[in-house]
Amino acid sequence: MCRLAMKTASKPFSPFSVLEAMEAMQEGYDGSGLGLLLRGLEFAEYKYNAKDPILSGIAHSEAALARLNKIMIEAGFELKYDHEFDVKRQMIEAKDRFKYILRVYKQSATWASLSAEEVENRLMLTRLALRKDGEAHGQDLTVFSLWPDVAMIKEVGWPLGVGQALGLDSGRITSRICMAQGRQNTNYGINLYACHPFFIQGVATMTNGENTAFIPIKDWLSGRGFPGYIGYQSDSEVFAHILHYVTKQLKLPLETYKHVITPLKNEELAAHPQGDFLRGLRDACRRLIIDGPNAVIGTLPDETSMLVMDAKKMRPATVGGKPGEWAIASEMCGVDAMIPDRDRSKDFQPMREHTVIIPPDRQELQIWSQFDHLPIHQAA
């Protein structure tokens, strides 16, 4: 079983503190890899404008890097800052890492007149073009994200060791949100893309557990014709795509996500104030019903964080913290490591009906239940 840790705080902090929390939970995982997602970034050596997109990935050869540069220039991106990691190569298991990429770009001035939706679309298409280019050249280019204020790192190895190898302990990068996961995928072929967290257009999730309904869900998402619904090297990638589909395509509130992946039963819906709408939604989104055990931790572009469970609740997760600072982890010791000075009696372990939401102001923990009224239009 893998272990998850996420911290969100109004004041930026070092991702290394989250890796230390992973270490606290080390008995529960094999430590075969690290996946990191940072939001709300600050660089010690660069004054970052949060509107500029950041490209994260790995160029496995010089040629790949050259092609990447060419593609980015052709797409109208201008390089503003290239974060050089203090890489300790001897600590990295893989030997084909030519350069870890974490670069701030300025997008083409011609995009200024485009709608926000179109800009988001183009950022995604550029990321997919880079990914495709790498796949066409024997996976020599791996791209995790291209999005404003989001950086991602994925690497094989012991999580804390990977953090040290990449110099994350130096404090050169800090962020307001850090999502960390400590394992390479084990159920399908080893692939950096298969490592959580998963990212699509600002939406990111990481998951604990196995999704046995993966193939039907993947088949359905693939059939949407949406260019970003690809990959699926891991069964958990669908959680990010479903969250994206619900919030960005259906444009429904975040609370609806839980109704889509784990709908209520008939008798529960019969008693629900919006039971009629929700029953229809369950039918329409039937292929997106997950079959955990899963704990899903997600973050959204506005720095909202969330945690939900599958309907059987067979994977652990705890949330705790204080105003301005919250942590979610697979185990209590993980939360302890991230926020030791909190009121532990207020820690919360969600049940099958709950969605834990930490809004961007981080002042309180919202515990929303599926049995509650859904914040949508009256007609529903």
Partner 1 sequence: MVSVRSLANTPSSLTPNDLPWIIEHREDRCTLCGKCAAVCPVNTLKLAYMRKRMPHLVLAATERGSSYKTFVGIRQSTEVSKRCIGCGSCAMVCPNEAIHPVQNGERDRFRFVNSQQGEPAKRGGRRNVPGASLLDRIIFDRISMLTDPALDAGRHEFSCNTLLGRVLPPEEYVRRKLAGEWIPPVREIFPFVIGSMSFGALSPNMWLGLLQGVAYCNEVLGIPVVMATGEGGCPPWVLRSPFLKYIILQIASGYFGWDEIIRAIPEMQCDPAAIEIKYGQGAKPGDGGLLMWFKVSKLIARLRGVPEGVDLPSPPVHQTLYSIEESVMKMIQTMSMAWNFRVPVYPKISGSTSAKSVLNNLVRNPYAGALMIDGIDGGTGAAYNISMDATGHPIAANVRECYLDLCAQGKQNEIPIFAAGGVGKNGNVTQNGMALIMLGASGVHMGKFIMQSAAGCLGTESNRCNVCNIGLCPKGITSQNPKLYRRLDPDQVAQRVVETFMSIRTEVKKVMAPLGRSQSLPIGMSDALGIDDKDVAERLNIRYVC
Instruction: List residues near partner 1 by CB under 8 A.
Output: 186-187, 209-210, 212-216, 219-220, 222-225, 245, 249-250, 252, 262, 265-266, 277, 280-281, 283-287, 289-293, 310-312, 314, 377, 379-380
How crowded is residue 363: how many other Cβ atoms within 10 Å of its Cβ?
A: 13
* Interatomic CA distance for residues 355 and 352, integer angstroms: 9
Q: How far is the CB of 311 from partner 1 (least distance, A)?
A: 5
The token pair at 259 is 């109704």
CB 23 within 8 Å of CB 329:
no
- Measured from the CB atom, the residue of 35 and 321 that comes closer to partner 1 is 35
Measured from the CB atom, the residue of 287 and 342 that comes closer to partner 1 is 287
Least Å from the CB of residue 213 to partner 1: 7
Least gap, CB of 161 to partner 1 (angstroms): 24
* Minimum CB distance to partner 1 smaller for 61 or for 274: 274
8-state DSSP, 348: B
* Alpha-carbon Rg for the chain in angstroms: 20
At CA 329, angle to CA 325 and CA 333, rounded to 5? 95
Please, which residue, 187 or 363, has the CB nearer to partner 1? 187
CB-wise, 159 or 292, nearer to partner 1? 292
Contact call for residues 22 and 180 (beta carbons, < 8 A)? yes
Residues whose CB falls within 8 Å of the CB of residue 151, separated by 6 or more in sequence, listed in order:
36, 37, 38, 41, 54, 56, 102, 145, 173, 175
Q: For 244-312, give the DSSP string.
A: HIIIIIS---TTHHHHHHSPPPHHHHHTSTTHHHHHHHHHHTGGG-----EEEEEE-TTS-EEEEE-SS
Answer for the pair 56, 145: CB distance below 8 angstroms, yes or no.
yes
Least CB distance to partner 1 at residue 274 (A): 10
Least distance (Å) between residue 254 CB and partner 1: 15
- Would you say 3 or 67 has its CB closer to partner 1? 3
Nearest distance, CB of residue 300 and partner 1, angstroms: 19
Please state the closest distance from residue 348 (CB atom) to partner 1, in A: 23
Please say which residue, 189 or 225, places its beta carbon nearer to partner 1.
225
If we measure between CA atoms, which residue out of 307, 287, 305 comes closest to residue 296? 307
Residue burial 187-225, b: 16+ Cβ < 10 Å; e: rest: eeeeebbbbbbbbbbbbbbbbbbbbebbeebbebbeeee
* Nearest residue (CB) to partner 1, 133 versus 291: 291
Tracing tokens 């509130």 back to the chain, one arrives at: 253
If the CB atoms of residues 144 and 229 are measured against partner 1, the closer one turns out to be 229
In the complex, minimum distance from the CB of residue 219 to partner 1, in angstroms, rounded to a whole number: 5
How far, in Å, CA of 286 to CA of 261, rounded? 9
Tokens, residue 369? 């239940």
CB of 17 vs partner 1, minimal distance in Å:
30
